[in-house]
Amino acid sequence: MLRGKSRLNVEWLGYSPGLLLERRPLLAGRTPRSPGRNESSLASTLKTLLFFTALMITVPIGLYFTTKSYVFEGAFGMSNRDSYFYAAIVAVVAVHVVLALFVYVAWNEGSRQWREGKQD
């Protein structure tokens, strides 16, 4: 009953069975990328992600409590209730700034890796 579906339909994938039996390199005419550079770009991407993750956690929380205590209650003399509100606005703006910086860095890192790969 499932005999037709249990077999691998390689023609659906764009290959004929005869092509699968040929012994030719998959990247004919292209040199394969070196694994060292791929690992270094992966490590660089992971470092960037971890850095911005730490920023996303520390910057908004730090700014919230700092601006609430020292700026709005201390310098401006606002009430406790008002300082919560304005400190939350500062924290939300900080989240957006960190996200925008992450997108900018990721965009430039991706285009740099694309240019390096294009020159090979």
Confidence of residue 57 (pLDDT cuts 50, 70, 90): very high
Can you give the pTM of this predicted structure?
Answer: 0.62
Nearest-angstrom CA–CA distance, 116 and 67: 43
Q: Which of 90, 82, 84 is nearest to 62 (CA)?
A: 90
Which pair of tokens denotes residue 11?
């023609």
Q: Which of 37, 55, 46 is nearest to 114 (CA)?
A: 37
Nearest-angstrom CA–CA distance, 55 and 103: 13
**Tokens 């960190």 sit on residue:** 98
- How many percent of the chain have pLDDT more than 90? 52
| Single-letter amino acid code for the residue at 53 | T
What is residue 22's DSSP assignment? S
Confidence of residue 27 (pLDDT cuts 50, 70, 90): low
CA atoms within 13 A on the CB side of 76: 13
- Domain residue spans in the chain? 34-119
Confidence of residue 23 (pLDDT cuts 50, 70, 90): low
